[in-house]
Amino acid sequence: MPRQLARPYQDVPAVLTSMHGKERVIAPILRDELGLNIEVATDVDTDQFGTFSREVERKGSQLDAARAKIGAGFDYARQVNVGFASEGSFGPHPYIPYVAMGRELVLLVDRASGFELTGYDETLETNFAQAVVRSTDCALAFADRAGFPEHGLIVMGCREEKPAPERALNKDVASAAQLEAAVEQAIGLCGSAFVETDMRAHRNPTRMIAIARATRDLVRRFHCRCPNCDQPGFDVVDRLAGLPCAWCGRQTSVVLAEVLACRSCGHSEKRSVAAATVADPGQCSNCNP
């Protein structure tokens, strides 16, 4: 079992770089579980690192963007050595057609020690969706499916069935009347409007729940100490399939073991996770092709 330190950052100041209210779910968890005093870098415009509405393209990966946000947070709070940032990504599920997936990342950087740790959440519980509409009735029907107005919407111009925010862009649509006005404006300019769920955290309660889960995952990883160097973050980095089939003995796709590793010292261990010694033949590509 992982060894857990009681509030290891007791009363240590930390900066969270966010302009979209993420402190509402991140700060209480970090305070209660790690003892941190969170300051929000409110003067940092995080839109410079990329926007969901496409007017600023994100450069690099989710992790790159989170690191950049923390760097800006350290510039904002120069006396602080512990920084946090969150970054989300949304799109189609890689294997399931017509299903959306959300991926959340919460990053911790301790610049005094060079320590870095990430918490993750992947979920199908997202309202991420988009539609090209040519009438306000269609836009209102989409809004109803998206959970509007509790969940925000973004209305953009449209060119060849694709978003064109340079033609028209309304990000803070908060009522049916505002939605109709924004859609009519976009249709007037482009012939159609591109309507999308607003994935900014302060406009998307469902996303806020996922960010909280990613924060708890970071805390869980922090409490997993390396058996070799006792540093935090000793966690699963790979899962090895190959549990043999009970009928034919061939390897299956059932996970046999997990590989845990430490980013600080490089120590790794392989641990069996299979409750049985053989796999059900129904999960064997030879016996159940």
**Average of pLDDT values for 224-240?**
93
Q: Residue 3: pLDDT band by 50, 70, 90 thresholds? A: very low
In this model, does residue 286 exceed pLDDT 70? yes
For residue 34, give the 3-state DSSP assignment.
helix
The one-letter amino acid code at 287 reads C
**Average of pLDDT values for 90-102?**
93
13-122+202-222 CATH pick, 3.10.450, 1.10.472, 2.60.40, 3.40.50: 3.40.50
For residue 19, give the 3-state DSSP assignment.
coil
CB within 8 Å of 143: residues ≥ 6 apart = 149, 153, 176, 179, 195
Q: Given this model, what pLDDT does residue 2 score?
A: 45
**Average of pLDDT values for 264-283?**
91
- Measuring CA to CA, how many Å separate 136 from each of 140, 217, 234? 6, 41, 52
Could you tell me what percent of the chain has a pLDDT over 70?
A: 98
In this model, does residue 1 exceed pLDDT 80? no
Nearest-angstrom CA–CA distance, 289 and 271: 29
Q: Given this model, what pLDDT does residue 42 score?
A: 86
Q: Given this model, what pLDDT does residue 7 score?
A: 64
**Average of pLDDT values for 118-140?**
97
**Ranges assigned E (strand) in 45-151:** 82-92, 100-110, 115-123, 130-133
Q: Given this model, what pLDDT does residue 139 score?
A: 98
Cis ω on the peptide bond leading into residue 165 (within 30° of 0)?
no
Q: Given this model, what pLDDT does residue 4 score?
A: 46
**Average of pLDDT values for 63-81?**
97
CATH code of domain 130-198? 3.30.1490
Nearest-angstrom CA–CA distance, 198 and 27: 23
Domain borders along the chain are: 13-122+202-222, 130-198, 235-283
DSSP code of 57?
P
- State the chain's mean pLDDT as an integer: 94
For residue 66, give the 3-state DSSP assignment.
helix
| Contact status, residue 41 vs residue 72, Cβ threshold 8 Å | yes
Q: Which residue has the tokens 């510039």?
A: 75
Q: Could you report the per-residue pLDDT of 166-219, keeping only the tens digit for each?
A: 999 999 899 999 999 999 999 999 999 999 999 999 999 999 999 999 999 999
In this model, does residue 62 exceed pLDDT 60? yes
CB within 8 Å of 24: residues ≥ 6 apart = 208
Of 3 and 263, more confident? 263
